[in-house]
């Protein structure tokens, strides 16, 4: 496992992964009925935007400040959100992200719901393509080339992206912002990079976990830009929605603790919960199980401890290699930490892993040009296959012993964690020296 992979071996692994992604997306989306209720998440945003249109200072989070929204997802019947949805013949769940997205979607909320959903999906499809144009620049793939076609095909087939587009999830926007932030940083466009990550933080809070990287690198320009732009975005939300709504949102997030055991939630906290209960749950079963009881405090503590230990380990590896990384390597580290942030988030559904595509594409491009050692190549393959094809998640729904179901469902998290640790570990001085020394041998396919 310590020898370099041969170029033909890497190409075979890549071909296997690409075929798996394509076949899985087509088969499961159109034949497997994995997503029977498309656009559900988009309608939460849509009707929240209608609430803001009617009254920018209306309480978007009515009934959400004293409960875990994963267990009790339906807003009160007397809330403005429910009233708008009911008037249009829809049922929605709580709007559980900062108010900025609802503010931006106000114009779209004035067209009929199904038309708005179609426009939102078209916008998301265009965002995926735009992200791939940026990513091609990062990995030096010509736009008019077969390699670019493969990149785009892989992106649209990657299951988290496929699922996010179908559900109308904001995570496709997160993919675009993550890609922009990484590419801009590589190109030394610090303000643009900081703006992209700051905007991503205003849609989902987890990108704030990237901030310590720039403290480690002592990148003051990026930090000042990020904090200034973030302050501007918060000020804009205060001006539009009022101080009270912005102050309420942290209370909503604080109740969404780690340890909810639904199998579609892919975090270290959910993995701890599966082990604790000795089984995996569907979302509906988990909500019914916890409807009249809180999540155990001890489990929540363990989940946070495991997540914190993993996050701190990744920060330590980034700190250890801080003096050895050039700008391109730092950009790749940002992409890896975007995946780290998803793994340690209290709640990350499968579609939240859209941002993982950036890091995976970077390391596949590197592997195809300079074949790595066998172990990293196998780990890259398993991570991409697991996240992109849904194979293990579907296998976990088969009539198998609960231990087997846990192991199958856990592959999503375990391979993501191992991939992050491995790539960050190999960014240290010794790892770089090994690659530099053995590059010619690897290119020739020597053992």
Q: Which 3-state string (H, E, C) describes 212-265? A: HHHHHCCCHHHHHHHHHHHHHHHHHHHHHHCHHHHHHHHHHHHCCCCCCCECCE
Report if residue 238 sits inside a domain: yes
Report if residue 1 sits inside a domain: no
- pLDDT score recorded for residue 30: 53
Report if residue 187 sits inside a domain: yes
- pLDDT score recorded for residue 29: 58
- pLDDT score recorded for residue 258: 66
Per-residue pLDDT tens, the chain, 447 aa: give them. 456 667 788 888 889 999 988 888 776 655 445 554 555 789 999 999 999 999 999 888 888 887 777 777 888 888 888 999 888 888 888 888 899 999 999 999 999 999 999 999 999 999 999 999 999 999 999 998 999 999 999 999 999 998 898 888 999 999 999 999 999 999 999 999 999 999 999 998 899 999 999 999 999 999 999 999 999 999 999 999 999 998 888 888 777 766 778 888 999 999 999 999 998 888 888 888 877 777 777 888 888 899 999 999 999 999 999 888 889 999 999 999 999 999 999 888 899 999 999 999 999 999 988 878 888 899 999 999 999 988 888 888 888 999 999 999 999 999 999 999 999 998 853 333 333 333 333 333 433
Give the residues across from 61 on adjacent strands.
Answer: none
In our burial notation (b when 16+ CB lie closer than 10 A, e otherwise), range 116-146 reads: bbeebbeebeebbeebbbbbbebbebeeeee
Report if residue 135 sits inside a domain: yes
- pLDDT score recorded for residue 311: 97
CA distance 197 to 173: 11
Residue 230 makes CB contacts below 8 A (sequence gap 6+) with: 198, 201, 202
Report if residue 155 sits inside a domain: yes
- pLDDT score recorded for residue 3: 67
DSSP string covering 356-398, please?
HHHHHHHHHHHHHHS--BHHHHHHHHHHHHHHHH-HHHHHTTS
Task: List the domain range (segments joined by +) for residue 66.
Answer: 7-443
Q: Are 52 and 58 spatial neighbours (Cβ–Cβ below 8 Å)?
A: yes
The alpha-carbon radius of gyration of the chain (Å, integer) is 22
Please state the domain count of the chain. 1
Report if residue 117 sits inside a domain: yes
Report if residue 269 sits inside a domain: yes
CA distance 368 to 351: 27
- The three-class DSSP label of residue 73 is coil
Report if residue 146 sits inside a domain: yes
């Amino acid at each position: 496992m310590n020898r370099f992979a041969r170029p033909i071996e890497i190409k075979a692994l890549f071909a296997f992964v690409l075929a798996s992604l394509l076949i899985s997306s087509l088969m499961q989306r159109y034949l497997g009925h994995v997503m029977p209720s498309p656009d559900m998440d988009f309608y939460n945003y849509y009707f929240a935007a209608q609430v803001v249109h009617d009254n920018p200072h209306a309480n978007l989070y009515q009934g959400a400040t004293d409960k875990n929204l994963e267990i009790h997802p339906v807003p009160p019947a007397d809330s403005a959100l429910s009233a708008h949805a009911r008037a249009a013949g829809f049922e929605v769940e709580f709007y559980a992200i900062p108010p900025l997205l609802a503010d931006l979607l106000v114009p779209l909320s004035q067209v009929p719901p199904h038309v708005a959903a179609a426009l939102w999906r078209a916008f998301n499809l265009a965002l995926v393509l735009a992200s791939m144009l940026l990513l091609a620049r990062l990995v030096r793939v010509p736009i008019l080339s077969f390699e670019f076609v493969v990149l785009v095909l892989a992106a649209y087939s990657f299951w988290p992206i496929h699922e996010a587009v179908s559900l109308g999830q904001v995570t496709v926007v997160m993919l675009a912002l993550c890609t922009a932030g990484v590419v801009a940083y590589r190109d030394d466009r610090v303000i643009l990079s900081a703006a992209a990550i700051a905007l991503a933080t205003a849609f989902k809070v987890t990108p704030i976990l990237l901030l310590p990287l720039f403290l480690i690198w002592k990148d003051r320009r990026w930090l000042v830009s990020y904090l200034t732009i973030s302050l501007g975005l918060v000020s804009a939300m205060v001006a539009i929605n009022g101080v009270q709504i912005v102050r309420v949102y942290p209370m909503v997030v604080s109740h969404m603790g780690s340890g909810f055991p639904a199998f579609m939630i892919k975090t270290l906290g959910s993995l701890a919960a599966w082990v604790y209960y000795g089984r995996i749950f569907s979302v509906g079963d988990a909500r019914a199980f916890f409807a009249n009881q809180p999540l155990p405090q001890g489990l929540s503590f363990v989940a946070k401890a495991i997540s914190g230990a993993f996050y701190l380990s990744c920060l330590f590896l980034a700190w250890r290699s801080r003096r050895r990384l050039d700008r391109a390597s730092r950009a790749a580290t940002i992409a890896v930490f975007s995946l780290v942030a998803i793994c340690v988030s209290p709640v990350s559904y499968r579609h939240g892993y859209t941002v993982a595509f950036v890091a995976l594409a970077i390391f596949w491009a590197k592997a195809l040009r300079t074949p790595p050692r066998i172990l990293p190549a196998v780990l890259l393959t398993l991570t991409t296959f697991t996240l992109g094809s849904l194979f293990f998640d579907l296998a976990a729904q088969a009539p198998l012993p609960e231990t087997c179901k846990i192991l199958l469902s856990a592959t999503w998290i375990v391979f993501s964690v191992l991939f992050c640790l491995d790539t960050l570990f190999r960014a240290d001085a010794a790892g770089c020296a090994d690659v530099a020394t053995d590059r010619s041998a690897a290119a020739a396919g020597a053992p």
